[in-house]
Amino acid sequence: MDKPTAAEYLCISERTITKLVSGKQIPSRTVGPKLIRFCKEELDEWMRALPTGQTAREKEARRPKTG
């Protein structure tokens, strides 16, 4: 799949996809000097491997108030 399709599939922006690719943080294939392709199965596996911890906002809400 191409970059716009992968971005839509992952519910993130194309700019974020580009940053992840340049940081080699997401599985992708480069075809030629600029064309990037993604495999749905590899993206699914990558998503399953991501940590699923709480967001910073959730952690802050659960922190005991001091003072």
pTM: 0.72
Domain range summary for the chain, segments of one domain joined by +: 3-62
Among all chains, which residue has been given the structure tokens 């993206």? Answer: 43
Task: Tell me if residue 37 falls in helix, strand or coil.
Answer: strand
User: How far is Cα 21 from Cα 17, in angstroms, rounded to an integer?
Assistant: 6
Structure tokens at 65: 């108030």
User: What digits encode the pLDDT tens for the residues 9-46?
Assistant: 999 999 999 999 999 999 999 999 889 999 999 999 99
> In which band, very low, low, confident or very high, does the pLDDT at 51 lie, cut at 50, 70 and 90?
confident
User: How far is Cα 29 from Cα 38, in angstroms, rounded to an integer?
Assistant: 6
Q: Which is nearest to 47 in space by CA: 14, 18, 6, 13?
A: 6
Angle at 25 between CA 23 and CA 30, to 5 degrees: 75
